[in-house]
C-alpha cells in the first residue's frame, strides 16, 4: 500500500512486476485488477531502498506471465 496523494489520505495497492527483460517495476493495481505503470520518483525510491539495504528487489517481482494467466 502507498499513499496516492500528497496528504496520504488516499491509498492504492502496488505490485512489483518482473518484466520479460528481467527488470522489476512497480505498478498500481486498480480495484478491477488492472495494472498501470508508476513513473518517476516512486519507481526510483523503490529501487534505491532495496539497493541501500542490499535486498535484491528482482526477487520480489511477480512474473509478468503469471499476471497474464491470472487475467
Domain count, the chain: 1
Cβ-based neighbour number of residue 7 at 10 Å: 6
pLDDT tops 70 at residue 61: no
The residue-averaged pLDDT of 29-53 equals 80
Residues 6 or more apart whose CB falls under 8 angstroms from that of 2 comprise 11, 12, 14, 42
Phi-psi sector, 40: left (phi>0), alpha (psi -120 to 50), beta: left
Q: Which residues lie across from 3 on neighbouring strands?
A: 11
Contact of 20 with 11, CB cutoff 8 Å: no
pLDDT, tens digit (0-9, with 9 covering 90-100), for 45-57: 877 877 776 655 5
pLDDT tops 80 at residue 5: no
Task: Print the domain residue range for 60.
Answer: 2-70
Q: Check residue 60 and give its pLDDT.
A: 60
Give this prediction's pTM: 0.58
Q: Residue 26 carries which DSSP code?
A: E
Amino acid at each position: 500500500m502507498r499513499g496516492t496523494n500528497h496528504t496520504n489520505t488516499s491509498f492504492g495497492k502496488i505490485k512489483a512486476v518482473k518484466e520479460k527483460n528481467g527488470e522489476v517495476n512497480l505498478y498500481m493495481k486498480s480495484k478491477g485488477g488492472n495494472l498501470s505503470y508508476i513513473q518517476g520518483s516512486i519507481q526510483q525510491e523503490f529501487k534505491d531502498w532495496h539497493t541501500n539495504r542490499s535486498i535484491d528487489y528482482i526477487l520480489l517481482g511477480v512474473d509478468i506471465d503469471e499476471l497474464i494467466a491470472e487475467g
